Structure 1
Amino acid sequence: MATIIKPNIAPELLSQLDTKFEEEKQVIVHCGFQNNYLIGNLVRIWRTTFLVDKFTGHRSQLLFWENISMFPYWTEVPPVKEYWFTLIFSGLPKDCKLFDFVEEIPQEGGFLVTDIDRNESDVYTIKLI
C-alpha cells in the first residue's frame, strides 16, 4: 500500500495563495434583452461596462463576452424575441453586498441595472431595457 505524504506549506505562502485566489474570482452576468418591436432590433455592449460596488465605488472590469457584439459592431435581435448573452467581469470586493451594472457610453441609451444583491455564487441573471 502506498503512503500518501501531505506537503507542508508555510502559512505565509498559504496566505498569499488565498489573496491571489480572491483576486482571480470572476462574476458572471447573464443578460436578457427583450425586443418588443415587429421589426428587428440591434444590441451591443461597450468595453466601458462595469459592475460598481455601491459603497466603495470599486469597478469590476468586463473581461469576456459571449453571444453579443462589442462596440462598434451590432448584434441583430429578431422581432418580438428575448435575446440572451453572457458577460464575465473581474471579481467584486470580498465585502461587497450591493452593486450596479453600468454601461458608461458617450451617448444616450447605456444599460443600467441598480441595486443588485450580491450572492455567494457571483452568477446573476438580469433583464436589460
Structure 2
Amino acid sequence: MDTNTEIQKKAPSIIEQFENMLSKQTAEEGQVIIHCIHHPCFAGCLVSHHCSICVDGNIILIPNIGEANATLLYAENILLQPASNPKTELISKFTLVFSALPKNCKTFSFVEPCARGWELHNIKRNSTDVYTISITKSSLKVVL
C-alpha cells in the first residue's frame, strides 16, 4: 500500500480540524457558532449579473431575556464591510463566531443592524450553540 495514500486517508481536513477546534472552544468558552448558507438572489446570479455578499461587522445575537448582546468575534470565509464578497459559487458558505449568550437564554435573534440587514427572530437555543442558517433573498431560516 502506498504510504502517501494511507496518510491522506487518515489526515483530517483543515475544515474538520477547524470545526473540532471551534467545538472545543465553544464548550470551554461558551461561544456561539453560526454556519451561513447564502443562496443565489435570483436566477441570473453569476450568469448575467455579478453578485456579492456584504456582512456588517456589527451583526449581533440578541437574547430574548434582555441581557447583553452576543457580539461577533470572528468571521470565516467572508470579509466584513466595507469589503464586499464577490460570489464565485451559486451557494456561498461562511461561518460567524459570536461571544457567549447568557446561560438562561432560551431563544435569541440574529440581527444585522443596517439598512436591508438580515434578521431572524426566535431562534431556539440548543445544547451545542452551533446553528446553520439558510439565507435567500426573501427569507432566513434555521436549518435543522
Quote the Cα distance in structure 1 between the aligned partners of 2:70 and 2:95.
15
Aligned residues of 2:56 and 2:80 also touching (Cα < 8 A): yes
- Report the residue type matching 1:83 in the other structure: S
The TM-score normalised by the length of structure 2 is 0.67
1:23 positional shift:
8.8
1:22 positional shift:
8.7
- Report the residue type matching 2:106 in the other structure: K
Aligned residues of 1:23 and 1:91 also touching (Cα < 8 A): no
Aligned residues of 1:113 and 1:128 also touching (Cα < 8 A): no
- 1:102 is aligned, of 98, 111, 130, to 111
- Report the residue type matching 2:62 in the other structure: V
Q: Which runs of 5+ in 1 are unaligned?
A: 1-20
> Is 2:30 the counterpart of 1:25?
yes
* Structure number having the greater strand percentage: 1
> Is 2:80 the counterpart of 1:67?
no
- 1:126 is aligned, of 126, 129, 133, to 133
Structure with max Cα Rg: 1
* Structure number having the greater helix percentage: 2
Q: Which runs of 5+ in 2 are unaligned?
A: 1-25, 137-144
Quote the Cα distance in structure 1 between the aligned partners of 2:34 and 2:129.
8
Quote the Cα distance in structure 2 between the aligned partners of 1:71 and 1:92.
24
Residue aligned with 2:116, SS:
coil
Quote the Cα distance in structure 1 between the aligned partners of 2:130 and 2:65.
20
Quote the Cα distance in structure 2 between the aligned partners of 1:104 and 1:57.
17
Aligned residues of 1:22 and 1:94 also touching (Cα < 8 A): no
Aligned residues of 2:67 and 2:102 also touching (Cα < 8 A): no
The TM-score normalised by the length of structure 1 is 0.74
Number of aligned residue pairs: give it: 106
Residue aligned with 2:91, SS:
strand
Q: Spell out structure 1 runs of 4+ moving beyond 4 A.
A: none
Residues 45-56 of structure 1 correspond to what in structure 2 (within 5 A)? 45-56=55-66
1:57 positional shift:
4.4
